[in-house]
């Protein structure tokens, strides 16, 4: 029974992380041990539970069915485990992107700790979308349009991005005057490929092909690709300021920023029943309301 539980626990960890190495780190196992456990579970189940893809693994149809059965029970077990070790009531686990954590959230956490020293904050970062209904995460800070069915979302801050391109690229096309003009250009993306689709949607435009084009995991690489004339980039001005100053890049289009394209604090109704989660969310809103300048 204990061995079978360990196999199921490993399965849930891999299903959430979608990467064997990340699941191994979370479980304090070697990647080889995780792979072996998954093979044993698949042999017991008599079917494939995961399929490999270029970035890691994804659930097969049988895996999806099994995960649907296990996600909620394991989330409750993990919540009870936190209560038993004394951290459940006073710990808030949040997830956000590495850039938001580094530039906005982490520098402010000391202020929260001073006000609420009894509350422990756990910060997890990554670009994958976390399933708050299935995973032991209390709150997510997400960048998007605020459309999160079944979840409670509150607007925090709307940092502006700018559209930049090389002067040589712009000479090859008609001038950009409205957001729809961007569709005539190749588009450069960050690794999530979500910013351009959200930006077009926020401007009320249907752009079914806006996810195509090269993607980069680092904003500086994204800017370098724009300098090389590979397409339009949607970036924070801080990443492009040197290239703009040297005129290797120019602002390709200036339009009012759609304020609904913003960062939101997102959580489940159940998570918000915890006083510590509500306290942290309210503090986030308070901090965001004190913002005078855009996110840097």
For position 3, what pLDDT does the model report? 80
* Tokens matching residue 258: 């759609």
For position 84, what pLDDT does the model report? 57
Torsion 59-57-22-107 (CA) sign = negative
Measured between alpha carbons, how far is 133 from 127 in angstroms, rounded to an integer? 18
For position 295, what pLDDT does the model report? 43
Domain ranges of the chain: 2-75, 91-156+265-289, 162-253
Q: Which CATH number applies to 91-156+265-289?
A: 3.40.190.10
For position 205, what pLDDT does the model report? 93
For position 247, what pLDDT does the model report? 94
Measured between alpha carbons, how far is 249 from 269 in angstroms, rounded to an integer? 45
Same fold, 91-156+265-289 and 162-253: yes
Pick the CATH number of 162-253 from 3.40.50.970, 2.30.29.30, 3.40.190.10, 3.30.360.10: 3.40.190.10
What's the CATH fold of domain 2-75?
A: Arc Repressor Mutant, subunit A (1.10.10)
Measured between alpha carbons, how far is 134 from 25 in angstroms, rounded to an integer? 19
Measured between alpha carbons, how far is 6 from 1 in angstroms, rounded to an integer? 9
CB 165 within 8 A of CB 234: no
E strand map for the chain = 50-53, 56-59, 91-96, 120-125, 139-144, 152-157, 162-165, 189-190, 215-216, 233-235, 250-253, 262-267
For position 164, what pLDDT does the model report? 96
Q: Average pLDDT of each block of 10 consecutive residues along the chain (296 residues)?
A: 81 88 84 91 91 88 90 78 58 90 92 90 85 88 93 93 95 90 94 91 91 89 95 91 94 91 94 91 92 48
Measured between alpha carbons, how far is 118 from 280 in angstroms, rounded to an integer? 12
């Amino acid at each position: 029974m204990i061995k079978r539980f360990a196999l199921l626990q490993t399965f849930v960890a891999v299903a959430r992380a979608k990467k064997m190495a990340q699941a191994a780190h979370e479980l304090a196992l070697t990647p080889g041990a995780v792979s072996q456990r998954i093979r044993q579970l698949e042999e017991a189940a008599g079917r494939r539970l995961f399929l490999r893809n270029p970035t890691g693994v994804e659930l097969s149809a049988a895996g999806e069915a099994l995960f649907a059965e296990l996600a909620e029970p394991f989330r409750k077990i993990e919540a009870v485990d936190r209560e038993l070790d004394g951290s459940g009531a006073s710990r808030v686990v949040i997830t956000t992107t590495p850039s938001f954590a580094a530039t906005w959230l982490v520098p402010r956490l000391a202020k929260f700790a001073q006000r609420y020293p009894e509350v422990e904050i756990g910060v997890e970062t990554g670009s994958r979308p976390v399933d708050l209904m299935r995973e032991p995460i209390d709150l997510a800070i997400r960048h998007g349009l605020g459309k999160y069915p079944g979840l409670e979302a509150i607007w925090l801050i709307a940092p502006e991005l700018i559209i930049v391109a090389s002067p040589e690229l712009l000479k090859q096309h008609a001038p950009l005057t409205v957001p729809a003009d961007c569709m005539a250009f190749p588009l450069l993306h960050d690794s999530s490929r979500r910013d351009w689709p959200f930006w077009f949607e926020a401007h009320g435009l249907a752009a079914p092909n806006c996810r195509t084009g090269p993607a980069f995991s680092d904003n500086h690489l994204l800017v370098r690709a724009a300098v090389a004339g590979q397409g339009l980039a949607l970036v924070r001005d801080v990443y492009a300021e040197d290239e703009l100053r040297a005129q290797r890049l120019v602002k390709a289009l200036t339009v009012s920023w759609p304020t609904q394209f913003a960062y939101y604090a997102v959580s489940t109704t159940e998570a918000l029943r915890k006083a510590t989660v509500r306290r942290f969310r309210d503090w986030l809103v308070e901090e965001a309301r004190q913002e005078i300048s855009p996110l840097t």
